[in-house]
Amino acid sequence: MNKQQFISSLRARLSSLPGADINRYVDYYSEMIDDRIEDGLSEEEAVSDLGSIDSIVSQIFAEAPKSPNYTYSPAPNQPGKKEKSKISPVWIIILIVITSPFWLSAIASSASVILGIAIVFVSIIPVLYAVDLVFAVSGIICFIGSFVPLFTLDLAVSAFIFGCGLMFAGGAVLLFFAATWVAKTEINFFKWIYKKVEKLFDKRGAAV
């Protein structure tokens, strides 16, 4: 099912709701599909990732204000479809408790790895600027030191030291631009993550 088919089916199944509510839910799920397509899924995969339209419609009607005019519309051409049996909440709690050592350790390990990667990722910037400062200071020292051999008329040594100064100065300039580019890239990356998280919570709030 592509996006257009999904939206048409959803709008038809929500026909007993007020028009404003229909448009709100249609816009919400349309935006969810667009977000998944932006993340690299095909249109059909994005629709499939939302889950079955039956569960989506039933959830919407469960959240809608209670009114005799609001009637749930089951999927067409599915007569006699049986409702799936629900697992008791008690068994869900027991299962969570029994499996907690496994998923808690997995969450802790994943969090540690992510935190370690984030620390390394962020620490690159001060390291690059520190190395850049070393290059700059070394260049200045070489420039100053290149004048010392002139007093002994040792022009070869003076030229060599001055060349080293030029090398360090050029490296400092290049490293400064590289460090600045890395810093801007990291800032933009964290802004992108923040916007994605903020957008996710906004969508959840709108669906409630």
- Structure confidence at residue 67 (pLDDT): 45
Same domain, 131 and 201: yes
Q: What is the DSSP letter of 17?
A: S
Average pLDDT over every residue of 195-207: 67
Same domain, 54 and 137: no
Is 117 a domain residue? yes
Is 125 a domain residue? yes
Highest mean predicted confidence (pLDDT) among 28-42, 61-75, 83-97: 28-42
Is 17 a domain residue? yes
Q: What is the mean pLDDT of the chain?
A: 79
Is 139 a domain residue? yes
Same domain, 49 and 120: no
Q: Could you tell me the residue range of the domain that residue 196 belongs to?
A: 111-207
Domain total in the chain: 2
- Structure confidence at residue 189 (pLDDT): 83
Is 22 a domain residue? yes
C-beta separation of 29 from 53 below 8 A: no
What pTM did the predictor assign? 0.41
Is 16 a domain residue? yes
Same domain, 123 and 197: yes
Is 163 a domain residue? yes
Does the pLDDT of residue 147 top 70, yes or no? yes
The DSSP code sequence of 53-106 is HHHHHHHHHHHSPP-TT----PPTT-TTPPPPPPPPHHHHHHHHHHHHHHHHHH
